[in-house]
Structure 1
Amino acid sequence: MDMTGERRIPAPREKVWNALNDPQVLKASIPGCETLEKVSDTEYRATAAVKIGPIAARFTGKVQLSDIDPPSGYTISGEGQGGVAGFAKGGAAVRLADAADGTLLTYEVKAQVGGKIAQLGARLVDASARSMAEQFFTRFVAEVGGAPQEVGASGMAGAIAAVGNAVSGAAAAVAPASAAPPPAPPPAALPVTMPVRAAGAAPLPPAAPVVAPARISLFALVPREPMGFPLVAWVGSVICLGILVLIFGSYLW
């Protein structure tokens, strides 16, 4: 894994150099650093809890300084063991240069990882390393004082501001149209059963109540005097005729 970058730190180069050699500043700046002990002027012993993707581990290792050139930079190398999570080893060349607004810090990192961490893939490992570098510089500058600036950050900020102004202008142009009230909905249709009366006309008479049809008996359909004889006479004749049939039938059978 290779990674390079530059940062403008708004502080004198001498102050930045001293901070890079201060164990307390480094401990506060390194993400997940739990202990950082200075063994000698060129050697440190450290313990850090690191999380890369789904893997979290505690690394313990040593860091060695070489090519020391105060206050211009040095080379740092080391190796850490994270148990079953794997290992990491490598080095970084750090250079400091005077700049108009402070100090220009450049770094070039070469590292190698193994174990379960390596199985996560180079893309995830690189993204995690860059994220940790951003956290380091943010904390480091807070310890030194000031705000970190990437090279070319002013141009990027200008581009972002231009895009923001364009978006704001477009939003302002669209706002009057979007603020217009929506058209009123059409009036609801009146029910068919409701009578409509024109303005100024006499009130309509109330509707007659609907009366349910009465039940009709079958006896009501029979005429009271069929063929001019009362119904009672017809019934009596039928009964007498039935009796005569029974009497004569008994003799015949």
Structure 2
Amino acid sequence: MQMSDTREISADKAIVWAALLNPEVLKECVPGASEVTGTPEDGFEAVVTQKVGPVKATFRGTVTVSNVVEGAALTLTGEGKGGAAGFAKGAANVRLDEADGITRLSYDVQAKVGGKLAQLGSRIVDGFAKKMADQFFTRLEEVIEGPKEADEAPEAEKKGWLKKLIS
């Protein structure tokens, strides 16, 4: 399965870049993540629990960072094993462009699954993969920008939280 999208984030490129490489930000943004540790240089290890159709599994896996063009582009490649549920593999090519204080984040994602997950059928799996990617990048945007006006939490407090994480 392949998907692509673009997000506009109200922050400069350096902040978005730092957020993409921070394990605490990744843990906050990956749906179902209970643990993300590591560094961009050595790779990240993650524990993620997800339910896809009738199959619920805890995946343990790794994420590596490659094809790095400092501050402009990178590839995140992940692989997780969920025991009897099967496995999931994927890669996201991420590009950042900045104009007028807005960072345009573009991504192309490829994902594959095997085991019981693959038996669910492509409609369920493809829909789930698109939902996961959308949730990740939506949450990344929220973590960087702070809550939208309709949210109750003060924006300054949320942005302070991110700055502590990425510094």
Taking structure 2 as the reference length, what is the TM-score of the superposition? 0.82
Q: 1:121 and 1:71 mapped to 2: Cα distance?
A: 38
**Structure 1: gaps spanning 5 or more residues:** 149-253
Note if contact 1:11-1:146 (Cα within 8 Å) is conserved in structure 2: no
CA apart distance, 1:146 = 4.8
The reply on whether 1:110 has 2:119 as its aligned counterpart is: no
The reply on whether 1:9 has 2:9 as its aligned counterpart is: yes
CA apart distance, 1:134 = 2.2
CA apart distance, 1:90 = 2.5
Paired position in structure 2 for 1:41:
41
- Per the alignment, do residues 68 and 126 of structure 1 end up closer, same or farther by CA in structure 2, a change over 3 Å counting? same
- Relative CO higher for 1 or 2, CA cutoff 8 Å, sep ≥ 6? 2
- Per the alignment, do residues 146 and 40 of structure 1 end up closer, same or farther by CA in structure 2, a change over 3 Å counting? closer
Superposition pairs of residues 139-150 of structure 1, within 5 angstroms:
139-146=139-146
**Structure 2: gaps spanning 5 or more residues:** 149-167
**Larger Rg, first or second structure (1 or 2):** 1
Instruction: Decide which structure has greater strand share.
Output: 2
Instruction: Decide which structure has greater helix share.
Output: 1
CA apart distance, 1:40 = 5.8
Taking structure 1 as the reference length, what is the TM-score of the superposition? 0.55
Paired position in structure 2 for 1:19:
19
The reply on whether 1:95 has 2:95 as its aligned counterpart is: yes
Paired position in structure 2 for 1:58:
58
Q: 2:100 and 2:66 mapped to 1: Cα distance?
A: 28
- Per the alignment, do residues 62 and 75 of structure 1 end up closer, same or farther by CA in structure 2, a change over 3 Å counting? same
State which drifts further: 57-66 or 97-106: 97-106
- Per the alignment, do residues 100 and 126 of structure 1 end up closer, same or farther by CA in structure 2, a change over 3 Å counting? farther
Number of corresponding residues: 148
Q: 1:116 and 1:87 mapped to 2: Cα distance?
A: 9
Q: 1:16 and 1:81 mapped to 2: Cα distance?
A: 29
CA apart distance, 1:4 = 1.0
- Per the alignment, do residues 98 and 39 of structure 1 end up closer, same or farther by CA in structure 2, a change over 3 Å counting? closer
SS of alignment partner, residue 116 of structure 2: coil
SS of alignment partner, residue 41 of structure 1: coil
SS of alignment partner, residue 125 of structure 1: helix
For the aligned residue pairs, the C-alpha RMSD in angstroms reads: 1.7
- CA deviations on 1:129-178 (whole Å, 9 max, x unpaired) are 11122221222122111579xxxxxxxxxxxxxxxxxxxxxxxxxxxxxx
SS of alignment partner, residue 31 of structure 1: coil
The reply on whether 1:70 has 2:67 as its aligned counterpart is: no
SS of alignment partner, residue 111 of structure 1: strand
